[in-house]
Amino acid sequence: MRQTVAVSLPEDLASDLDALAEREGASRSEIVRVALRKYLAVREFQRLREAILPFAEAQGVHTDEDVFRITS
């Protein structure tokens, strides 16, 4: 089931959205759906990373390079 959500945008952001929709041949709704999915995925990744950070640091994993070293 679909649900409609009204979002208020500043004029410049609405103009940018319209220009992108025109260039990509997509609807405003599709662009906003894609952007929201990406935003939610990034926020979930950040939440999980923050949750495991204390455990990783306890194992001596402090950087992305440490992760690559351990998993390679």
Give the largest CA-CA distance in the chain.
50
Q: What pLDDT score does 5 carry?
A: 95
Q: What pLDDT score does 23 carry?
A: 98
- Domain contains 37: yes
- Domain contains 36: yes
- Domain contains 33: yes
Between CA 59 and CA 4 the distance in angstroms is 46
- Domain contains 24: yes
Q: What pLDDT score does 33 carry?
A: 97
- pTM comes to 0.77
Look up residue 45 and give its amino acid: F
pLDDT tens-digit map of 43-67: 999 999 999 999 999 999 999 899 8
For residue 46, the enclosing domain spans: 11-71
